[in-house]
Chain A
Amino acid sequence: MNADVLLGAYVFILAIFVGFEVISKVPTTLHTPLMSGANAIHGIIVVGAMLVVLAVPGTLGAILGFFAVVLGTANVVGGFVVTDRMLAMFQQRPRRPAKAEEKKP
C-alpha cells in the first residue's frame, strides 16, 4: 500500500468522526437547509472534474470531461443558491414587528 493511499485512509477515517461529531444536534427546522448545505459541499467534485477534464484524449473523453465540469458546477452553484434561499426565509424576523405596526392604522 503506498503512502498516498494510507494518508488518504487516515484523512477518510478522521473525517468520518468529524462528520458525525459536527452535526450531532440539529433542530428539525434546520434539517432541510443542512441537507442542502451538505449537498453544496460535495460539489467540490468540480475540482476533481477540472483536474481530469482532458485526462482521456479524443472527442468522447472531452465530452465526458465537459459534462463532469457542468454537473459539478451545477451541484456547487445550485446547492449554495438553494441553501441561501432557504435560510433567507428564516431571516425575516427582525423586520416583522415594524411591518405589523404599519398595517395597524
Chain B
Amino acid sequence: MTLESLIPVIYLITAVTFILGLKGLSGPTTAVGGNRIAAAGMIVAVAATFATKAFGSYGSTGLALTIAGMVVGTVAGVAGGRLVKMTAMPQMVAIFNGCGGGAAALVSILEYTHEAQAGTGLAWGAVLSSVLGLMIGGVSFSGSAVAYAKLQGVISARAYRYPGQRLITGVVFVAMILLAAWLVAGAAGIVEQPRLLVLVALAVAALLAGLALVLPIGGADMPVVISLLNAFTGLAVAMAGFVLSNQLLIVAGTLVGASGTILTRLMSKAMNRSIANVLFAGFGAGAGAAVGAREGDTRTQRAISAEDAAILLGYAQNVIIVPGYGLAVAQAQHAVRELADMLEAKGVNVRYAIHPVAGRMPGHMNVLLAEANVPYEKLYDMDQINEDFKNTDVALVIGANDVTNPAARADKSSPIYGMPILNVDQAQNVIVIKRSMRSGFAGIENELYYDPKTGMLFGDAKKAVEQVIAELKKAA
C-alpha cells in the first residue's frame, strides 16, 4: 500500500478531527482540546500531502517553492499570532482570514489556468467552482484587509461613505457577476472561450467588491463583518475543493461556512440587528442624525475629578464595573484589576458586567480581563447581573457607550431601540470614564451622560483609572 493510496483515508480522519474540534470549541471545558485536535488533524493532512508530493510528482522547483512558502507562512503566522497584543486579536483574526481567502482565490486561478492551458476543453462545472472560489476568496481577502486596517487604526474606523456609493458598489458587483458568467458560458460552449485576461479582470473586480462592501461599514460592526468574511473564506475553500475534487477541502470549507454563518447571526442578534442591516443600512446615517438633533441639548453633564470618583468608590458597598472598547484601546485591564483589588481590600464587593457585544468581539472583554487575572467568577453576563444594578452603589463605566444607553429601552425613534443593554442607569451612582464627549460607534447621544446621578470622568481609560488609584492610596 503506497502513501498515495492512504491519502483519502488520512483526509477522512482529518475531516473528523475538524468536526470534533469545532464541537469542542463550542464548550468552555472542551475548547482547548478542540483546538488541539483540529490542529493535529491539520498537521497530519499537510504532512501526508507534502510527503506524497515530495517523493512523487514535485520536481526540485516545486519542492523548493513549497518549502520556502511554508517557512515564510509559518514565520508570519507565529510572529503575528505570538507578538501581537491581546487587544489586537480581532484584527489578527481578520488578517489570517484574509490570507485564507487570498489562498483560495489563487488556487482557483491556478487551477483554471492549468485547465485552460491543457487545451482539452474546460468542464463548465469546474469553471463555475473556480470562478466562485476566486470571487468569494477575493472579496474575503480585500474585505478582511479593510477590516484589519479599520481595527488597527491604519484607516479611520468610521463608516466611509461618498456620493454615489451605492451605485458604484452595485456596478462593481454586477461587473463581477457578468465577468464570471462570461467565463462559465465560455466553458459551456455558449460563447467562445474568453482569454485569460477576463480571469484577471474578475480577480480585480472581486478585490474591488471586497473594498466596496466593507469600507462603508463602521468599526463597531467589524466583528460581525469579520465573522461573515470568515464564513466567506470557508465557502471559497469549499469551492476550491470542488475544483480540485478534494473532499477534505469541501468538508472543512463548508463546515466553516455553515458554522460561521450561525456565529454571524448570533453576533448580529446580540446587537438586535440583522446581517443585512449591518451590511447595507449604515448605522446612524439616517435616524441617528435625527436623534442627535432632536433635543436642543441645553442639558449638561456633570464632570467629576479622579478624587470625587475615588471617594464615591471607596465608600461604596457594591460596585459593578462595565468595561467597553475604550478599556481595550487604552490597555487599561491591569489598572482596572488593581483598582478592583484595592476596593476589595476595603471590603467593597466588586463585580464586572459584560455585555454580549462589549469591545470589538463577543468574548473580547472576558479575554482581556482574564489576561489581567481578573477571577472568572467575577465576570457576569448581562442576563445574570442586570437585575442587580438597582442594588448597586456605583456603576463604573469604563470606555463603554452604546451598550449602556437607556434610549435602547425607551426611545422607539432611536436606531439602537430594542438592543439589549446593561441597566447601568438603575444604579445609585454612575461614573463614566470616557475620552471625550464624542458619541459611540452608533453615532448617537447617550442619555445616561445627562442623568443627574452620572459623573463624567474625562480622560484616557488607563490614565483615569490610575489617577483614581492614586487618590485612593492618598486617602488610605
Contacts and interface: CB of A to CB of B under 8 A. Distances in A.
A80 B354 CA distance: 26
Nearest to B144: A39
A2 to B, nearest CB: 8
A78 B76 contact: yes
A89 B106 CA distance: 35
A26 interface: yes
Interface string A6-49: 01100110011111101111111111111111111111111111
Interface residues of A, number: 84
A28 B270 contact: yes
B110 A55 contact: yes
A87 B373 CA distance: 14
Q: Is the interface of B mostly helix, strand, loop or mixed?
A: helix
A16 B373 CA distance: 38
A45 B104 contact: yes
A51 B240 CA distance: 11
Contacts of A53: 58, 62, 65-66, 69
A16 B258 contact: yes
A12 B62 CA distance: 30
A58 to B, nearest CB: 10
Contact of A38 (B22, B236, B250): B22
B472 interface: no
A83 to B, nearest CB: 5
B226 to A, nearest CB: 7
Nearest to B123: A2
A88 B367 CA distance: 9
Interface stretch (B184-192, B294-302, B356-364, B395-403): B356-364
A74 B362 CA distance: 24
Contacts, number: 377
A77 B74 contact: yes
B135 interface: no
Contact of B86 (A2, A49, A89): A89
A54 B65 contact: yes
Contact of B373 (A20, A23, A96): A96
Given A35-B263, A42-B100, A69-B69, A55 B111 contact: yes
Interface in A59-91: 61-62, 64-91
Contacts of A19: 22, 254-259, 262
Given A22-B26, A68-B110, A76-B42, A44 B252 contact: yes
Contact of A75 (B97, B249, B375): B97
B250 A11 contact: yes
A45 B69 contact: no
A33 B21 CA distance: 12
A66 B77 CA distance: 16
Contacts of A56: 110, 113-114, 117
B204 interface: no
A35 B69 contact: no
B97 A39 contact: yes
Contact of B45 (A8, A11, A30, A44): A44
A83 B35 contact: yes
Contacts of A15: 238, 250-251, 254-255, 258
Interface string B285-306: 0000000000000000000000
Interface stretch (B88-96, B428-436, B445-453): B88-96
B103 interface: yes
B255 A41 contact: yes
Nearest to A86: B367
Given A69-B103, A84-B32, 9 more contacts: A19-B258, A23-B262, A26-B263, A38-B256, A54-B62, A78-B81, A85-B89, A90-B370, A92-B370
List of 7 A-B pairs having minimum Cβ-Cβ separation, nearest first: A73-B73, A19-B258, A77-B77, A69-B69, A81-B81, A78-B77, A31-B362
